Chain A
Amino acid sequence: MNLKRDISTSTFSGFALSASLIITFLNVLLNNIPVDIKRVGDELLKLNGSEGVANAVTTVVVYFRGFDTLGEIAVLFIASLGIGLMLDSNIRCNLKAESNFMLKTASQLLFPIIILFGIYVMVYGHLSPGGGFQGGVIIASGVLLLLISHKEFEVPHSVITLIETFAGISYVLIGLIGLVVLDKFLGNFLPNNISDMGLLLSGGIIPIIYIIVGIKVGSEMSMITQNLIKRSDDV
Chain B
Amino acid sequence: MFEFFNQPEVIKIVVTVGSMTLFFVGLFGLLTQKHLIKIFMSVAIMETALFLLFIGLIYKQSALAPILTDNQQGFINMNDPVPQAMILTAIVIGMAVLALGVSFAIEYYKLTGKTDIDEITSLRN
Contacts and interface: CB of A to CB of B under 8 A. Distances in A.
A and B touch in the complex (CB under 8 A): yes
Interface of A: 10-11, 14-15, 17-19, 21-22, 25-26, 29-30, 33-34, 36, 39-42, 44-46, 48-49, 54-57, 59-61, 65, 68-69, 71-72, 75-76, 78-80, 82-83, 86-87, 128-129, 133, 197-198, 217, 224, 227-228, 231, 234-235
A61 B93 CA distance: 14
Interface string B53-67: 000011010000111
Contacts of B93: 72, 75
A54 B107 contact: no
Nearest to A134: B88
Interface of B: 9, 12-13, 16-17, 20-21, 23-24, 27-28, 31-32, 57-58, 60, 65-68, 74-75, 78, 80-86, 88-89, 92-93, 96-97, 99-100, 102-104, 106-107, 109-110
Tell me whether chain B's interface is mostly helix, strand or loop, or mixed: helix
Contacts of B74: 49
Contacts of A21: 24, 27
Contacts of B9: 33
Contacts of A82: 100, 103
Contacts of A46: 75
26 contacts: A15-B32, A18-B28, A19-B24, A21-B24, A22-B20, A25-B23, A33-B9, A33-B57, A34-B12, A39-B80, A39-B82, A44-B81, A45-B80, A54-B68, A55-B67, A56-B81, A60-B82, A61-B89, A65-B82, A68-B89, A75-B97, A78-B96, A87-B106, A217-B92, A228-B102, A235-B109
Contacts of B68: 54-55, 197-198
